[in-house]
Structure formats: structure tokens, C-alpha cells
Amino acid sequence: MAPQIVTLTSPNGRSTARILTGYGFNCFEYQAEIDGQPYDVLWSLPGFESGELRPSSSGIPVLFPFPGRIQRGELTWEGRQFQLPQNDRTGNAIHGFVFNRAWRVLEATSQRVVGEFQASIDDPSLLELWPADFTLTAEYELLDDRLVSNFTVANPDSKPLPWGFGTHPYFRLPGETAEQRDQCRLIVPVAEKWELEELNPTGRRLPIEAALVGELHQGATLQDRQFDNVFTGIQPTENSESALTTAGGRRLVTVEFSAPVRELVVFTPPHREAVCIEPYTCAPDPIRLQQQGVDGGLNVLSAGEQMVIRLIYRIG
């Protein structure tokens, strides 16, 4: 049986979004208008709604309780050792536990949907893979010119909950040819990057070359570039944001974010039909980094505590 899909429609009827609630609560389709013309904001594999394709390859995968990789899937917390599934191509654990599992729908209207995943309720086997039980509640609300998402992390356990959160949106690049798509530009307000070895952070934060920083702040073309970077050193603004624009600077989609987001991953998939701008609350593998004496942005919630992450996708 195909997973449940919830469809949202904006108040003016010109935008729609579809969320695959039974497969990671993935918003895999968002259609809006730019200059009176329909525009597919997100890129997804054909047939993704079947729930049988790679869960992190399309739409907006939700990454929790860790985004990115954990080296060799090995985790030590308060003297206890955990072995996580080694589910990337190089023997690491990747992207958490909720992006490929069914969520429960708590509320659904024509404009808003709320879903929840709790380890002890929705997959108790996860309690053997993580130091504490966890609850993640996700809300999508579709307005006329933006898609608003709120994610609430809560600790229902009596033990401390270490966690990190991210999303992995695939933004569709407009154009019929690779040459046209590569003319799009990225605005990413960062100044540093994590040094990576085999895509795992070493613990060193490096300055980005001055020329690239200037491009990223003003609009870096995708032409002849392959990104798979964990950027940090976000430059604060009134509304911290990243954006995808046309070659001429016309904004297609802007991603607004705020604390606790502190890293931005930029990834260009091999098919070059999309670009990923991924807000993270931490660097990959923050527990290991903390144990090395490095601030990787690890969050820890005490029993009964919660935290909200808000991400907004604004069109045009």
C-alpha cells in the first residue's frame, strides 16, 4: 500500500504542496507561481510517492536525531556504546532515523498539516540505537507566497537527549539543458567550512577563500562547480537566509532560518537537475567532535524540555 499523502492548497489557490506522511513526512512537491507562471520549487524522482525509492533523494527529507554522517556508525554517550546502521556508501551512519519511517498525522486541514514521530511509539527498536527516547513534531503551513515549517524537538525520557536536526531540500533548477541550469546562482551567507575527510568532519574549521566568500554572498554560479560542503560561520542578518536565483539575479526561492541553525550544507547531486541547501543545527557527528574538545553544535535536552526550529521557503 502506498504511503498516505496530504495535499495543501494556499489561500489564493495558486500554490500546492504534497507531504508524504507515511515515508518520512517528506514534502516532496511544492508548486507555486512566479510572475504568473507555474513553478516546481522542489525536485523529486518520478514515482517517489510510492515510498519505494531512496528516501533521502527527493523533496525535503527530515534529518533527525542527527543530520549528516556518524563515522562508522559508532556512538559513545555517557559510557554507553551504540552501533548505528552503516547505511551510506562508505560505512557510516547517515541522516538519522525519521526520514524513511511512517509518521502519525495529528492534524490536517487544507492549508496545514502536523505530524509526529516518537521513537518509543513509532519504532521502539530505535531505543537500542540512541541514548534516549525522542519526539519530533513537524508542521507545514502553505501561505500564498511561502511554505512555513516548524519542527519541535522534545525529550519525553528521564535521560538527557543529545540531538541534531537538519533538512535536505532539493531545489529544482529551471531550464531545459544542463547549460541553462548551471547559470543559476546560490546566495549562502557563510564565512567558514568544516574540513572533511571522506565526508566526515576532522574538527577543523577553515576560512573560505575570499573570492568564493564574495561570490557566495552575492550569488555563486553553479557552472563547473561540484558542491558537497558543510559551511559554517553564518553571517547574521535580520532574517538569516539563503537563496537560489536565476543567472540575472531574479530570486526563485529564499530559505529563511534562525537559531539554532548554525551550519549550511550545499550539495549538487550528480544529475545536476537540482541543488540542495541544507540548514543544520550542528556539524555532522557532533558527539564525536565534542568528545574531541570541538564545538560541533551538539544540543542536549533534559527531561521534559523542547526546542523549536523554524524554516520558511519564500517564493520570488
Tens digits of per-residue pLDDT, 47-73? 999 999 999 999 999 999 999 999 999
According to DSSP, the residues that pair with 125 across neighbouring strands are none
CB 153 within 8 A of CB 134: yes
177-188 pLDDT tens trace: 888 899 999 999
pLDDT at res. 194:
98
Average pLDDT over residues 24-40: 95
Give just the sign of the alpha carbon dihedral 53, 140, 274, 188: negative
C-alpha cell at 188: 549562502
At which residue does the C-alpha cell 567532535 appear? 289
**List of long-range contacts for 256-262, beta carbons under 8 Å, 24+ apart:** 256/311, 256/312, 256/313, 256/314, 257/309, 257/310, 257/311, 257/312, 258/310, 260/297, 260/299, 260/307, 260/309, 261/234, 261/309, 261/311, 262/232, 262/234, 262/297
C-alpha cell at 185: 546562482
275-304 pLDDT tens trace: 999 999 999 999 999 999 999 999 999 999
The CATH class of 5-315 is: mainly beta
pLDDT at res. 18:
98
Biggest CA–CA distance in the chain, Å, is 58
Average pLDDT over residues 13-24: 97
pLDDT at res. 239:
62
CB 32 within 8 A of CB 172: no
Residue 231 CB contacts under 8 Å (≥ 6 apart), including other chains: 188, 190, 192, 193, 194, 208, 216, 263, 264, 265, 266
Q: What is the CA radius of gyration of the chain?
A: 19
Q: Assign 175 a pLDDT band (cuts: 50, 70, 90).
A: confident
Q: Identify the CA nearest to 280 among candidates 302, 296, 301, 300.
A: 296
pLDDT at res. 259:
86
Distances in Å between the alpha carbon of 312 and those of 142, 155, 169, 178, 240?
10, 24, 12, 28, 11
State how far the Cα of 242 lies from the Cα of 251, in Å rounded to an integer.
Answer: 10
Q: State percent of the chain over pLDDT 90.
A: 91
| Domain residue ranges in the chain | 5-315
What residue type is assigned to position 287 of the chain? Answer: I
238-286 pLDDT tens trace: 568 999 999 888 999 999 998 899 999 999 999 999 999 999 999 999 9
DSSP state for residue 145 in the 8-state scheme: S
List the alpha helices (DSSP H) in the chain: 119-122, 178-181, 210-218, 286-291
SS3 track for 76-89: EECCEEEECCCCCC
109-131 pLDDT tens trace: 999 999 999 999 999 999 999 99
Give just the sign of the alpha carbon dihedral 60, 64, 69, 73: negative
